[in-house]
Amino acid sequence: MNTTENPWQTLNSAIRYENPWLSIRHEEVVTPAGTPGIYGVVSFKNKAVGVVPIDADGYTYLVGQYRYPLNEYSWEIPEGGSPVGTDPLESARRELREETGLVAQRWTKFARIHTSNSATDEEGFLYIAEELEQGDHEPEDTEQLHVRRLPLAEAVEMVMRSEITDALSVSALLMVARLRGI
């Protein structure tokens, strides 16, 4: 048996909800066990991008904001959406500037991730931004942001204490810590 072949069979698929950011598909399927089933898939109209900015002193920047779906405050790396068909790096540059006012001269893409592959097809791209210059931030109308500068190791400790729970941020900060030997 080839483990990379799709063992699922889709019988039919219909979009049940759609807005400018996502759609939700209801699908009738035959499972890998050969039994009938259903599946709901959330498809995003953006790719996710996340940025770990690191300044000359080894500090990073987190963005705090209230997240409506969670009904709680969240500390995260600068992140956002990249419309399908747009270069994710250009979107990452935009998000970093909008959320923190930072502009980076050096960019490194270090990961591609799926944020919750049991229910969504969302794909994310993670970047390190270095050689930073401070400018004015330009948050979107839906964002009330607080920017915090802290040592990268402290941000990693926030992950380990579950003070940072956002999937992009957790993945990015732990990966960068490993890459940097922290």
Q: What is the Cα–Cα distance from 115 to 92, expressed in whole angstroms?
A: 17
pLDDT per position as a tens digit, 80-132: 999 989 999 999 999 999 999 999 999 999 999 999 999 999 999 999 999 99
pLDDT computed for residue 50 by the predictor:
98
The answer, yes or no, to whether residue 26 has pLDDT greater than 80, is: yes
| Residue 54 CA: distances (Å) to CA of 24, 113, 136 | 36, 21, 18
Q: Does residue 38 register a pLDDT over 90?
A: yes
Please say whether the beta carbons of 77 and 64 come within 8 A: no
Is 143 a residue whose pLDDT tops 70?
A: no
CATH code of domain 46-180: 3.90.79.10
Work out the angle at residue 169's Cα, subtended by the Cα atoms of residues 151 and 23, and round it to the nearest 5 degrees: 160
